Amino acid sequence: MGRKENAENRPARIVNKKTTLEILIKMKIHGFHGNLKIKYRTLVRCALLPVLLAGTAAFTEPGPLHAPPVAPGELARTGMTNVGEVLELKPFGASYKAAIDPVAGFAYFGAAGPIDPSILAKIDLHGRIPKLVKDGAPNPISKGMVAMLGVEVDTSDPDPLKHFIYCGMASGQILKFAPGGAHETPRLISTLQSKSAAGTIMCSAIDLSSPDPNQHYVYFGINVRGTARKILRVRLSDFTDQGAETINIRSIRYCAIDPVHHYAYFTSFDNSTKVKEAPQISKVNLGTFHDGGGSVATYTLDSTEPSDGVARAGSDYPSFDQGFVIDPVHACGYIGTYNCDQAKDHPKADTWPYNQAMVARMQLGTGDNFPAHPVSVLNLRVGERDLAAAVIDLTHGNVYFGTDNCYPGHVYMIHVGDGTSPMEEVGRLDLQPGSLKQYPRDGDTVPGNPFELYGESYLRTAVIDEKHDAIYFGTDSEPGQVIKVGINGK
**For residue range 55-77, what is the model confidence (pLDDT) as tens digits?**
323 333 455 678 888 776 666 65
Distance linking the first and last C-alpha atoms of the chain = 22
**What's 26's DSSP letter?**
-
For the chain, domain boundaries? 3-486
Helices (H), ranges, 5-49: none
- Predicted pLDDT of residue 277: 80
Chain centre distance of CA 267: 11
**Check whether domain 3-486 has CATH 2.130.10.10, yes or no:** yes
Query: Is residue 314 scored above 90 in pLDDT?
Result: no
Residue 114's pLDDT band, with cuts at 50, 70 and 90, is confident
> Beta strand pairing status for 375-379 and 387-393?
unpaired
Q: Quote the CA–CA distance of 246 and 238 in Å, as a whole number.
A: 24
Q: Quote the CA–CA distance of 63 and 15 in Å, as a whole number.
A: 7
Query: Is residue 29 scored above 80 in pLDDT?
Result: no
Nearest CA among 318, 307, 393 for reference residue 356: 318
- Predicted pLDDT of residue 74: 67
Q: Quote the CA–CA distance of 490 and 488 in Å, as a whole number.
A: 6
Q: Which long-range contacts (CB under 8 A, 24 or more apart) does 104-108 make?
A: 104/155, 104/160, 104/163, 104/179, 106/133, 106/179, 107/463, 107/472, 107/482, 108/151, 108/153, 108/165, 108/186
Cα-based distances in Å from 92 to 111, 121, 351, 386: 6, 9, 34, 23
Residues listed for the chain: 490
Residue 86's pLDDT band, with cuts at 50, 70 and 90, is very high
- Predicted pLDDT of residue 322: 85
- The CB density around residue 192, as the number of other CB atoms within 10 Å, is 17
Secondary structure element (H or E) that encloses residue 488, with its range: none
- The pair phi, psi for residue 342, each rounded to 5°, is -90, 0
Q: Quote the CA–CA distance of 226 and 396 in Å, as a whole number.
A: 43
Give the gyration radius of the chain's Cα atoms: 21
- Predicted pLDDT of residue 319: 85
As beta bridge partners, residue 400 has 391, 413
- The CB density around residue 52, as the number of other CB atoms within 10 Å, is 16
Q: Quote the CA–CA distance of 132 and 358 in Å, as a whole number.
A: 34
Query: Is residue 39 scored above 70 in pLDDT?
Result: no
**Residue type present at position 415:** H
Q: Enumerate residues 6+ apart whose C-beta is below 8 A from 476.
A: 41, 93, 94, 95, 96, 112, 404, 449, 458, 460
Mean pLDDT score, 183-211? 96
